[in-house]
Structure 1
Amino acid sequence: MASVSETGHAKNVANLQDLISFVTGYGTTYNPTKNALKLPQLTALYTASQASLADVVTKNTAYNNKVNERVVAFKDLKSLSTRLINALQTTDATSEKIADAKAFNKKMQGIRAKAVETPSDSNAPAPNTISTSQQSYDQQIQHLAGIISVLQSEPSYAPNENDLKIVTLTAKQTDLTAKNSAVAIAYANVSNSRIARDKTIYGEDTGLFDIATEVKKYIKSVFGATSPQFAQVKGIEFTKKRK
């Protein structure tokens, strides 16, 4: 678990800017041999760190938007599923076919086909059960596909309502699949963006945290531990992200 929040990442970047301001004020006296500690490289690191923070925000906003779009798209799916069963029941479909469709609808609604048995002996182990709620977005799409398959197999299923027609249902299934996939892609994007941010800020030897720590050590070595220059920077805190 990380020891810093999203706000903590931004604080590290802001503190680097403060450190750079003091380094700039030291003029030519600040002259490290290590290239990564030189002022132009520090400025470039600050710019890259800012960009990495901004990219995470952008990608996270895109992810949230895709999640919201999916919520809206799936909102009426359970009620639609029930309507389809009712529509099928008004056709010439056999009781067996209707039962098949109802089975998919029960899964869509999150209804258990059979109640979980409670052992009469309180000392007996609980029965091995597998959750049958099957309410993930992937599973809901599959339940809809199952209902559509049953409807397609029934010649007498020919509703006049557009939203109950097979062509409309097939299009809805395609749209739900696309929106569900879009969420997965957006999640991968924001996850990769966070990885890139962490590499920029916390990467070993090259990240903001390690570089800023070395800058403070260099200032201490140049001006001394009791110098006013080191007093300026020693209190600038950089928080390490735990692995």
Structure 2
Amino acid sequence: MASTSEVGHAKNVANFQDLIAFVNGYGATYNPSKNSLKLPQLEALYTQASASLDNVVNKNTEYNNAVNNRVEAFADLRPLSTRLVNALEATNASKEKIDDAKGFNRKIQGKRASKKEEPVDPNQPAPKTISSSQQSYDQQIQHFEGMISVLASEPSYTPNETELQVATLQTKLQTLKDTNAQVSKAYAEVSNSRLERNKILYSDDKGLVDTAGEVKKYVKSVYGATSPEFGQIKGIAFKKEK
């Protein structure tokens, strides 16, 4: 479900479209001298604002998909880590080396991404700040890399099971790094898309909300405060969202 603020942004843009429709109906009598209030500029601003909303939605979906991909990639890390320790214990590895592997395993088992992260609805708004779980994922990657280093250093660690072999684990490690990095990249993109949308809608003087206010003032000045024309548009609400 979209957040209240996301709905507010869309409502501002929809109301701006309504405002344009009314002033377009006034014909040649709607003739402001200020260029930004002329109909072609209003229509261009509406198009730009509408596109910025679409961009936020698209970037938001990409972010949530990246989060879901990361959840899937990390899902088996904890049980896999335990299997790796068991496999190492079945070799000629020294007690010290096995203890090193167990240490990394304990860290992996204990470094769940804050609370367990579940797949998210692709339509759910991305958070306004990236969560502390990002750091937890970074740490899990480091611990898993340490585990692989211990296994690779043991000559007798040559399991027949493909999923436990060092080459397979290194591929797994790269997948974890890639999916984790994609979340960071996708979050930066959705955050930047919000900044651009807010600039178009809410920047002083040139933003959609301020422009709508100026259109209302112009209509009021031309047709009068009690005119039917001003009566049509005075109640169209615009609000600056945070």
TM-score band, normalised by shorter chain: 0.7 to 0.9
After TM superposition, the structure 1 = structure 2 runs for residues 1-243 of structure 1, keeping only pairs within 5 Å, are: 5-110=5-110, 136-242=136-242
Q: Distance in 2 between matches of 1:135 and 1:67?
A: 14
For residue 198 of structure 2, give the secondary structure of its aligned residue in structure 1.
Answer: helix
The answer on whether the counterparts of 2:8 and 2:241 sit within 8 Å (CA) in structure 1 is no
Residues 1:4 and 1:38: Cα distance change in structure 2 (over 3 Å): farther
Distance, in Å, in 1 between the alignment partners of 2:166 and 2:156 is 12
- SS state at 1:21 partner: helix
If you compute each CA radius of gyration, which structure gives the higher value, 1 or 2?
A: 1
| Letter of the 2:65 counterpart | N
Unaligned runs of 5+ in 1: 112-132
Shift of 1:83: 0.3
> Residue 4 of structure 1: CA displacement?
5.7
User: Aligned-pair distance for 1:203?
Assistant: 1.3
Amino-acid identity (%): 65
Contact 2:5–2:241 (CA<8 Å) still a contact in 1? no
Q: Contact 2:48/2:200 (CA < 8 Å) preserved in 1? A: yes
| TM-fit CA distance, 1:94 | 1.0
Q: Deviations over 1:106-128 (max 9, x none)?
A: 010007xxxxxxxxxxxxxxxxx
CA distance in 2, matches of 1:86, 1:107: 16
TM-score of the superposed pair, with normalisation by structure 1: 0.87
Runs of 4+ off more than 4 Å: none
**Aligned partner of 2:164: which letter?**
L
2: CA distance, partners of 1:161 / 1:4 = 51
Aligned length: 219
SS in 2 for 1:5: helix
Distance 2:221 2:134 in 1: 63
Query: Which residue in the other structure is 2:121 paired with?
Result: none
SS at match of 1:210: helix
Equivalent pair of 1:85/1:98 in contact (CA under 8 Å): yes
Instruction: Summarize deviations over 1:199-243 as a string: whole Å, max 9, x none.
Output: 11111111100100100011111111111111110100001123x
> Matches of 2:102 and 2:211 in 1, distance apart?
63
SS in 2 for 1:225: coil
Q: Which runs of 5+ in 2 are unaligned?
A: 112-132
Q: What is the distance in 2 between the residues matched to 1:46 and 1:158?
A: 64
Verify the 8 A CA contact 1:134 1:140 in the aligned structure 2. no
